[in-house]
Structure 1
């Protein structure tokens, strides 16, 4: 086994999920993430945690959904019980086909998402972390040779997370002290309120309220969104290619949308429920170890020189205690490249211009 696989498992179990002896741990394993699953299981055994492993394959989901009537029991008791009794939930991505569910009718996908709202919420109450094992299918999606992709993935995952956390703390302070954010770029002029919110320094550990490995972003829960935004980073969403998405906001809600490709799937997501038309997240990528787009949201949204917005559910970590933010059965991220002809302002002051932050070399105020 490549020693980097064991290091990936160590970072995931020790730094990211902070697993302790006696923890009940559910590990969801993608079809090609077997090697990482073995290393994680070994680490959990050494730690004295209790392991349950489940299998997560897009082809299995496709077969089930296409054969179904489209009517699903709400939060099935056996699935809910597993989620509610998990102290830690680890998702090891490593699928064989990102478009496995592309031919599942949209209304069935939507109904299935909504029926498992309680299950998702229970998982979010655990120390959950999502990661990805570098596989040949992910390399193919990224248009990279397999060995090249492994180098890329481990450069992003096996970071000095404590040092990066110190760097990202500067952006967290700006957002915590701010009231209004304005994002300006090609096809974009968007304002949103952030006062009363707490930004998350997402340094790949639940200790930072961060749930992705790799991570490397600072995010908050905006509201009162106005204006328009264009997302020019190509993505695969619900198994379908999406490109050049445009959203228009008024009174905090999406009032118009379009896309050069994948407009139907964007419309499906926006129609999921009332909260799907409001923003749940503003995220600012700061992981300079990610230097190219790979059609994998786990990596792409963390890349330096990007900003992403998510329609749908807001994370509780960004909200005052006892306050409920935007609620939805979806949380769908969309990414815009801010490396050229763009700026990010907080309360009228430019914090980032053309991808460079004001504390970085090369920043032009």
Structure 2
């Protein structure tokens, strides 16, 4: 087996999830993630953890949803109980078809998401981490040769995470002290309140309130959003291509939307529930090990020279104790490229211009 697979497993188990002896671990495995799952199982055995593996397939889920009448049981107890009794939940993506559920009707997807809301919340109470095993389907989606994609993925995953965490801490400090963020570029002039929020230094470890591997972003939970924003990084959302999305906000809520492609997809998301029309996240990418777009949000939103915003659910880690942020059954990220003719301001001070932070070489104040 490729030695990088074992290194990936070690980072996931030790750095990301901080698995300890006696931990009850649920391991969700995609169809083509077998090699990484085997390596992770070995690491879990070495740690003395308790393993339960489950199978996660887009094609399996499609078959179920296509056949269902859409009247899902609210909060299925057996599924929630599995997660509630876990200390750690590890998800290893690696499907055979990245668009396996593209033809599932949107109303069925929405009802399923709503029915599983309490299960998702229970998973968020575990030390949960999501990652992917580099597969041929992901390489194809990224328009890359398989070996090329493997090298790309491991460059993003096998980082010196402590070093990156130290750099990202500088941006976290600025966001924690700030009251308003403003993002300006062509087609975008957006202001967001951030006072009273805590930014997350997302260094790919639960110890940093970070739950993705790879990671490499700093994010917070904005509110009071006003203005317009253009998302120019192509994406696939719910199995459908989405291009050049535009959102207009007034008093924190999306009041208009459009897209060159996939406008209906965006509309369906915004109509999921009341919270789907408000922002749940402002994220700033800082992982320069990711050097190209791959049509995979796990990588693309972490890329340096990008900012992403998510409509829907806000993460509790960004909120004061006892305060609930934006609530929704969805959390959908969209990305804008800030490498040229752009600036990011905190309380009127430019902290990033044309993708370069003020502590980096090449920054122009």
After TM superposition, is the score higher than 0.5? yes
**How far apart are 1:210 and its partner, in Å?**
0.3
Matched residue pairs, number?
365
Instruction: Name the structure 1 match of 2:315.
Output: 315
Q: Which runs of 4+ in 1 moved over 4 A?
A: none
Corresponding residue of 1:129: 129
Equivalent residue number for residue 38 of structure 2: 38
Counterpart of 2:164 in structure 1 is 164
Give the aligned partner of residue 173 of structure 2. Answer: 173
CA distance in 1: counterparts of 2:271 and 2:25, whole angstroms: 34
CA deviation digits over 1:338-360, x for unaligned, max 9?
00111000000000000000000
- Taking the aligned partners of 2:45 and 2:76, their CA distance within structure 1 comes to 29
2:260 paired residue number: 260
1:77 deviation in Å? 1.1
Match of 1:196 in 2: 196
Q: CA RMSD in A?
A: 0.5
Q: Paired residue for 2:86?
A: 86
- Asked if structure 2 preserves the Cα contact closer than 8 Å seen for 1:62 and 1:100, the reply is yes
Question: Is the 1:98–1:236 Cα contact (8 Å) retained in structure 2?
Answer: no
Matched, 1:215 2:215: yes
1: CA distance, partners of 2:42 / 2:218: 32
2:183 matched residue in structure 1: 183
Q: Which residue of 2 aligns with 1:61?
A: 61
CA distance in 2: counterparts of 1:355 and 1:96, whole angstroms: 34
> Structure 2: any 5+ residue segments left out of the alignment?
none
Relative to the length of structure 1, the TM-score reads 1.00
Name the SS for the 1:70 alignment partner: coil
1:330 match:
330
1:361 aligned residue = 361
Residue aligned with 1:182, SS:
strand
| Cα shift readout 1:298-355 (whole Å, capped 9, x = no counterpart) | 0000000000000000000000011100000000000000001110000000000000
Distance (Å, rounded) in 2 between the aligned partners of 1:133 and 1:344: 33
Q: Could you say which residue in structure 1 is the equivalent of 2:119?
A: 119
What SS class does the counterpart of residue 242 from structure 1 fall into? strand
Q: Tell me the secondary structure at the aligned position of residue 210 of structure 1.
A: coil
Offset at 1:141? 0.6
CA contact (8 A) 1:91 1:129 kept: yes
Give the drift of 1:216. 0.2
Question: Which residue matches 1:154?
Answer: 154
- Whole-angstrom CA distance in 2 between matches of 1:266 and 1:117: 20
CA distance in 2, matches of 1:233, 1:84: 36
TM superposition shift of 1:262: 0.8
| Separation in structure 2 between the aligned mates of residue 36 and residue 161 of structure 1, nearest angstrom | 20
Q: Secondary structure at the match of 2:340?
A: coil
CA distance in 2, matches of 1:113, 1:48: 34
Instruction: Provide the rounded CA distance (Å) in 1 between the counterparts of 2:267 and 2:54.
Output: 32
Report the Cα offset of residue 147 of structure 1: 0.4
Structure 1 residue 246: Cα displacement: 0.4
Task: Output one character per residue of 1:41-78: Cα deviation in whole Å (capped at 9) or x when no partner.
Answer: 00001111111111111101110000000110012111
- Report what 1:73 is aligned to: 73
Q: Which residue of 1 aligns with 2:243?
A: 243
Counterpart Cα distance in 2 of 1:313 and 1:361: 35
3-state DSSP class of the match of 1:344?
A: strand
SS of residue in 2 equivalent to 1:7: helix
